[in-house]
Amino acid sequence: MAFKQPISVLVVIYTLQGEVLLLERARQPGLWQSVTGSREGSEALIDTACREVFEETGIRVPPAMLQAWSIQNTYEIFTAWRHRYAPGVTHNTETVFALPLPERQPIQLAADEHRDFRWLPIPAAEGACFSWSNRDAIRLLGKAFANAHKASSSS
């Protein structure tokens, strides 16, 4: 068994109408999240993000569609998931990306990873995530939407 790298991506997929795509974990019902996944080999993180988006949602995107947010989070890996990593690995470093879509796209879930999906307004999506880093990323998205709305209404 190959161990997962403790280097991953978080990709917040959202529509220009302010809806966020959340996926429910197959093995942890009730845990909702954005697209996440570990780097494979020496691939660039933007390539990891594109691969994970396709594997988890069926949406194929070129790297140019992704927004790199220049945010990295380091967190302790849940004890229940440490067996996936090399012995002694306790922390993961996650890089945040976003994928803006003009509208909702059809979703094709990877059944071994996720059991359901939903599109939620930004505030509801923020509240539904189990991961603090995912909540923080969606909160930043909400602030960006609010600032864009203020800018457009003042012009």
Q: What is the pLDDT of residues 118-137, one digit of tens each?
A: 999 999 999 999 999 999 99
CA distance 131 to 150: 29
- Looking at domain 7-154, which of 3.10.129.10, 3.40.50.2300, 3.20.20.150, 3.90.79.10 is its CATH number? 3.90.79.10
Domain ranges for the chain: 7-154
In this structure, of 32-46, 93-107, 137-151, the range with the lowest mean pLDDT score is 137-151
Backbone angles phi, psi at 38, to 5 degrees: -90, 150
Tokens of 117: 């999906």
Write out the two tokens for 141. 């998205």
pTM score: 0.93
Consecutive H or E run containing 70 = strand 67-76
Per-residue tokens: 146: 């609010």
In the three-class reduction of DSSP (H, G, I as helix; E, B as strand; rest coil), residue 127 is classed as helix
What pLDDT was estimated at residue 145?
87
